[in-house]
Amino acid sequence: MGDSLTIMRNRRKNVAFILLACLLGSLAIEFTGVFPARAREKDEFEEVNPLEMDEPDPLLRSNLDDIPLSEVEKRELIPVLDRLALEAETEFLAENGDRDRAFALWYRELRLRRFLGEIAEVEALGRVGKIAWENNRNEDLFFIRERLGEIQGNAEEETTLDTQLADALAIAYDKIRSYPQALPMYEFVLADIRKMEDINALERILNTIAQLHLEWFQYVAAETVYQELLDLARSQFDDASILRYLEQIAYLYNRAQRPEKAIETKLELLQGYLKKELLEKIPPLQISLAGDYETIGEGELASETYQDAFTLAWANQYYAYAGEALKKLAELYYSYDQLDYALEIYQEQIKAAEYATDEFSMMEIYERMGQIYLELEDYSQALNAFQEGLKLARSLGHKEDDFLEKIDEVYEFF
Q: What is the DSSP string of 344-403?
A: HHHHHHHHHHHHTT-HHHHHHHHHHHHHHHHHTT-HHHHHHHHHHHHHHHHHHTSSHHHH
**pLDDT tens, 58-100?**
888 888 877 889 999 999 999 999 999 999 999 999 999 999 9
Cα–Cα distance, 271 to 273 (Å, whole number): 5
Query: If DSSP codes are grouped into helix, strand and coil, which group holds residue 217?
Result: coil
Judged by DSSP in three states, 277 sits in coil
Q: Dihedrals φ, ψ of 318, to 5°?
A: -90, 75
pLDDT computed for residue 10 by the predictor: 42
CA nearest 180: which of 220, 223, 158, 148?
A: 148
What's the whole-number mean pLDDT along residues 39-52? Answer: 61
Instruction: Indicate whether 343 pLDDT > 60.
Output: yes
Question: Which of 156, 67, 147, 152 shows the shortest CA–CA distance to 113?
Answer: 147
pTM for this predicted structure: 0.77
pLDDT digits (tens, 9 = 90+) for 184-239: 999 999 999 999 888 999 999 999 999 999 999 999 999 999 999 999 999 999 99
What's the confidence (pLDDT) of residue 46? 54
Is there a contact between 390 and 406 (Cβ–Cβ < 8 Å)?
A: no
pLDDT in tens, 267-309: 999 999 999 999 999 999 999 999 999 999 999 999 999 999 9
**Residue 412 CB coordination number (10 Å):** 7
Q: Quick check: 367 pLDDT over 70?
A: yes
Give the residue ranges of DSSP H helices in 48-98: 71-93
Domains of the chain, first to last? 73-197 (1.25.40), 358-414 (no CATH)
- Confidence band (pLDDT; 50, 70, 90) for 3? very low
Percentages helix, strand, coil for the chain (3-state, rounded to 5) are 80, 0, 20
Q: Is the pLDDT of residue 36 over 60?
A: no
* DSSP 8-state secondary structure symbol assigned to residue 280: G
Residues 283, 313 contacting (CB under 8 angstroms): yes
CB count in 10 Å sphere of residue 398: 14
Q: What is the pLDDT of residue 34?
A: 33
From CA 173, how far away is CA 156, in angstroms rounded? 16
pLDDT at 47: 59
Whole-number Cα distances in Å, 130 to 124, 148, 171, 176: 10, 13, 10, 5
The 3-state secondary structure of 125-162 reads HHHHHHHHHHCCCHHHHHHHHHHHHHHHHHHHHCCCCC
